Structure 1
Amino acid sequence: MSLGIFLLKLRSGMSNQLLATIFGISKSSLCRAVKSVRTALMKSFVPHHLGLQHTTREEIIENHTRPLAQELFGDLTNKKAIAVLDGTYIYIQKSNNFQFQRKSYSLHKGRPLVKPMVVTSTDGYFLTVLGPYLARNNDATILNHMLHTNAEDLKGWFHEDDVFIVDRGFRDSVEMLEELGIRAEMPRLMSKGQKQMTTLDANASRLVTKIRWVVEAANARIKRWKYLAHVLPTNQVPFIGDYVRIVCALSNRYCKPLSTGSEDDDMALACKMRYLSTKVNSLKTFVEENCLDKKSVKWEVATDSLEFPNISEDDIRNLTCGVYQLKLCPSYIQEYLEGDVDILVHSEFHGLIRVKLQSRHVSSRQYLLWIQFSESKITAWYCRCRAGARVVGVCSHVAAVIWFLAVGRHNREAISSIQDWSEFVTDAAVIDESEDSDDSEVEE
């Protein structure tokens, strides 16, 4: 019963008082049960299912490393250990100890929190969880501390030429990793004043994000245990690390891997992405040389009879090299249909269209994109968004237009299913003109 109480508390986030009522015991008895189970799990369960020492390096490489990751960043003949790192947030209440309150306050999130550092394999298996760390420590500072202190024998477990997949927040740790012989792979950074990544940088960034998503999904798996998604009282700070480790150990023991793709599919996709990553965007060059972004160029509004390649959603998924962009297509197209922008075709270059799509993040920003196609397939694409020059997959804007012309315009129900909730919320910035005129009449 104590184990049931503990797991229900973590999974549901119910208060101790409510749990005590449900189980018909006193609140003090419930607190003792939670404490005893937490202590027992940390002693006899977690060490067998979490931590760098709970399994061998060879076991992780053979059974928890995707062939796709080995092909993109490792070596299939001399396989490397590939780890994905990211910090997650556990929110806490304000402390009456002002010194701790300042240390635990995150300027980024605008609230107090602590940060466990999560290390996973490329299929989402939790290798270890370190911390929690104070909110004022960024990801790079935390990783540097882990390496300096050799937490859980990191330097012994990882060998030379192993790979860490990280995001841009770890950029200040790259030098230290290189000194240890560990290769850091992260999305490319843009120079000051640069508005768009080069094609090669955008391609390289796509290879990283294709692998790095698992740590984000792993962090989301932690937050499914609702107790850790709530704002925790400060008296629980000493036990946050235990709770996170227990949840991760349970996930390793009882949950399926986050990535379950077949080896053949992974290898085919990896070869395709590696091949495309060395290519340049020919349509970008064509657009710039012919000034196709200028208003003086003659474009015509496309008619409903526009002859576009008859491709399926599976074909579009092959273009995007994933499913994320495909999921956003209906939302982009709904806003496009409600706007006053048209799909334009070029009067001279057959099979070339231009579209302007609204950014989903910034109201004042729109992106021009071009798509080139033949009778049977999409041959080239280019978008003015930050990553729109890549040829390893397509950006969400290009994917949305392709999806609409190939699928959405023949199935409008897929678009209309996106609910607009703004009608249920009042916008104080918009004032009805008829109400203003009525008020003026009353004053007269």
Structure 2
Amino acid sequence: MDNQMLGTIFNMTKYQIRRAVQSARKALMSDFVPRNIGFSHITREEIIETHTRPLAQHLLSDITTAPAILVLDGTYIYIQKSGNYTFSRRSFSMHKRRPLLKPMMIVSTTGYIVNVLGPYLADPKNNDSSILNHSILLNTEEIQSWIKEDDIFVVDRGFRDSESVLNDLGIRMEMPAFIPKGQKQLSTEEANNSRLVTKVRWVVESVNGRVKTWKYLGKTLPNSQIPYIGDYVRIVCSLCNKYRPPITSGTFDADIAVASKMTMLAKKTNELQQFVLENGLDKRSMKWTSIDADSNTVKDFPRLAEEDIRELTIGVYQLKTAKSYAAEHLTDDGMFEILVSNDVPNIVCAKIQSRHTSAKKYSLWIKYCETIVSWYCTCKNGARVVGMCGHISCIIWYLAFARHHSNAGDESLGIRDWTEDVDDAARAIDSSEDEDALDHQGQEE
């Protein structure tokens, strides 16, 4: 709430409100924040013993060594455009296409916020790698004394230029793989290893979302607040640490079971991918017959509960995206197009529209018997066997679950197409062109 509204509620002037907020901020920064955030408020051993998931330890390290595992990512606090052109250029993010400041979040694998660095400027000189390198080289808040050799930093691809700095300290950096130049998708091994990393890294995204639930940090801030943004971010993070439950709540036995399953699968190859490529199932010469998903042709496709599908995806995100993909591909009469071939029994093929690019579709294959045996998709991560991409989970979710439940349509999923509620200039132009073409044809006849 702005100061004018607060002044109306409490029968105070804007100046009195401003002084009260300033006093509260200073008091919290002096007494509350240092006890709940920062490298000095908690020891490395406490993070390892209390705020590290067994899942992360088993996926990324030897459980006997018990290193500290930290997840790092930058978040965004949006600000107004500045009249100072130097500051305006340096606070403008080319990625977000708007002015902002970047705090760097350092969290544990349970979502406990260890520290917040910054906020930093948003120009290319202040990318994630530069921010981390700056903090380590200047030993911000004695970070070099807190971390130890063989500790692990889990990061995204934006930190790739920090690897040499971390290696000099003996810190191991875990990051999703890059697609090599000339290739269209990750290999099975690279995709599997990337999934092990993202299974741990997602927690920092949830922490960023939790911080943004405070409306003050979720909206565009006036530039007069720039000197205090760092304080408010730290106050909110301290409140999260003190009063909010952990982001993750998995039990020890469940974490160990999932980690064991993922590490076992990560050692496997994608046999269906090899079969598809060796037999030319991805070639245009291969004859596939288009059928409806409700056709008796795929009546032998295994029937699964959503819990069983989640066991295959090893996570909830792919199951959520599956429903959105399915909503787009369902026709008006509730049909879902699937391809089959008489030459390859127990394998279905499908094409899924990319969620980002209209001109791109991904081909995928699913092999089944009494259960789902294997899968392969042509998307960037489609070769992995540790879980699956959203395209594959879409087909499995529909064939194995949704088509057997009459209430599993897109309306019941809460996925509504708002296109009909918004004017579409392209649609009007297309209709006009069609009418002109018909009139021209009629005149010729």
Deviations 1:3-44 (A, max 9, x none): xxxxxxxxxxx1111111112111111101100000000000
State yes or no: 1:384 paired with 2:378: yes
Report the Cα offset of residue 105 of structure 1.
1.3
Mapped contact 1:106–1:112 kept (Cα < 8 A): yes
Give runs of ≥4 in structure 1 deviating > 6 Å: 438-441
Deviates more, 1:149-158 or 1:250-259: 149-158
Report the Cα offset of residue 330 of structure 1.
1.8
Among 127, 131, 137, the alignment partner of 2:118 is 131
TM-score calculated relative to the size of structure 2: 0.93
Deviates more, 1:106-115 or 1:171-180: 106-115
Q: How far apart, CA to CA, are the structure 1 residues paired with 2:208 and 2:410?
A: 32
Deviations 1:244-286 (A, max 9, x none): 0000000000000000001101000001111111111000000
Mapped contact 1:74–1:82 kept (Cα < 8 A): no
Report the Cα offset of residue 298 of structure 1.
2.9
Report the Cα offset of residue 415 of structure 1.
2.3
Mapped contact 1:342–1:355 kept (Cα < 8 A): yes
Partner of 2:95: 108
Partner of 1:173: 162
Secondary structure in structure 1 of the residue aligned to 2:224: helix
State yes or no: 1:325 paired with 2:308: no
Partner of 1:310: 303
Partner of 1:155: 144
Partner of 2:401: 407
State yes or no: 1:29 paired with 2:29: no
Among 76, 86, 91, the alignment partner of 2:78 is 91
Mapped contact 1:369–1:383 kept (Cα < 8 A): yes
Q: How far apart, CA to CA, are the structure 1 residues paired with 2:141 and 2:338?
A: 57
TM-score calculated relative to the size of structure 1: 0.93
Secondary structure in structure 1 of the residue aligned to 2:6: helix
Q: How far apart, CA to CA, are the structure 1 residues paired with 2:437 and 2:393?
A: 48
Partner of 1:6: none
Secondary structure in structure 1 of the residue aligned to 2:119: strand
Mapped contact 1:197–1:387 kept (Cα < 8 A): yes
Q: How far apart, CA to CA, are the structure 2 residues paired with 1:220 and 1:434?
A: 43
Q: How far apart, CA to CA, are the structure 2 residues paired with 1:363 and 1:37?
A: 51
Q: How far apart, CA to CA, are the structure 2 residues paired with 1:332 and 1:284?
A: 22
Aligned ranges 1:263-274 → 2 under 5 Å: 263-274=252-263
State yes or no: 1:218 paired with 2:207: yes
Percent identical pairs in the alignment equals 54
Distance 1:58 1:289, change over 3 A: same
One-letter amino acid of the counterpart of residue 107, structure 1: M
Among 183, 186, 191, the alignment partner of 1:197 is 186
Structure 2: gaps of 5 or more residues? none
Deviates more, 1:289-298 or 1:218-227: 289-298
Structure 1: gaps of 5 or more residues? 1-13
Q: How far apart, CA to CA, are the structure 2 residues paired with 1:329 and 1:108?
A: 27
Report the Cα offset of residue 138 of structure 1.
0.3
Deviates more, 1:216-225 or 1:331-340: 331-340
One-letter amino acid of the counterpart of residue 219, structure 1: N
Partner of 1:236: 225
Among 411, 425, 428, the alignment partner of 1:431 is 428
Distance 1:32 1:342, change over 3 A: same
State yes or no: 1:257 paired with 2:246: yes
Q: How far apart, CA to CA, are the structure 2 residues paired with 1:152 and 1:166?
A: 20
Mapped contact 1:341–1:356 kept (Cα < 8 A): no
One-letter amino acid of the counterpart of residue 120, structure 1: V
Partner of 1:61: 48
The number of equivalent residue pairs is 428
CA RMSD in angstroms comes to: 1.8
Partner of 1:4: none
